[in-house]
Amino acid sequence: MHLQTKNSQAKFLTVIKGRVFDVLVDLRKNSKTFGKYYSIILSNQSYSSIYIPEGFAHGFCGLDKENIVYYLCSKYREKNYEIGILWNDKDLNINWPIKKPILSKKDLKNISFKEYCTNYI
């Protein structure tokens, strides 16, 4: 689950080929849905897109062998402020459709939701 701790980004995502399981987590501390997640399957066949407002962590996993995702951000990437929350964090309890995803080296270093709350809220 990716986010920037400063200069938060809004995102717009469309799947051009394949299918992805897309997840967003509300990190706005005064929100009624703080710490809750929303998930949706996006595909080229559903002709659907998702808008993710600022203040949300975001992640997705590919469900087909080949997936092409069109991904727009409202602000430039700020490498020094990028962090991630564990995809399988027990407090978020996201119901992912796969149990053993392939993760990047960067994502293997993600923090727990509790660590995020302690250090960034």
pLDDT tens track for 93-102: 999 999 899 9
Give me the domain span that covers residue 107: 2-120
Alpha-helical regions (H) of 1-121: 113-120
CA distance 112 to 88: 9
Residue with tokens 């087909």: 64
* C-alpha pair distances (Å), 65 with each of 17, 19, 50: 10, 9, 21
Tokens read off for 45? 């066949």
Q: What is the CATH classification number for the domain harbouring 15?
A: 2.60.120.10
- Mind telling me the catalytic residues? 2, 71
- Partners of 13 in beta bridges: 50, 71
Given a cut of 90, is residue 121 above it in pLDDT? no
pLDDT tens readout for residues 47-84: 889 999 999 999 999 999 999 999 999 999 999 999 99
- For the chain, the domain total comes to 1
* Position with higher pLDDT, 99 vs 36: 36
pTM surpassing 0.85?
yes
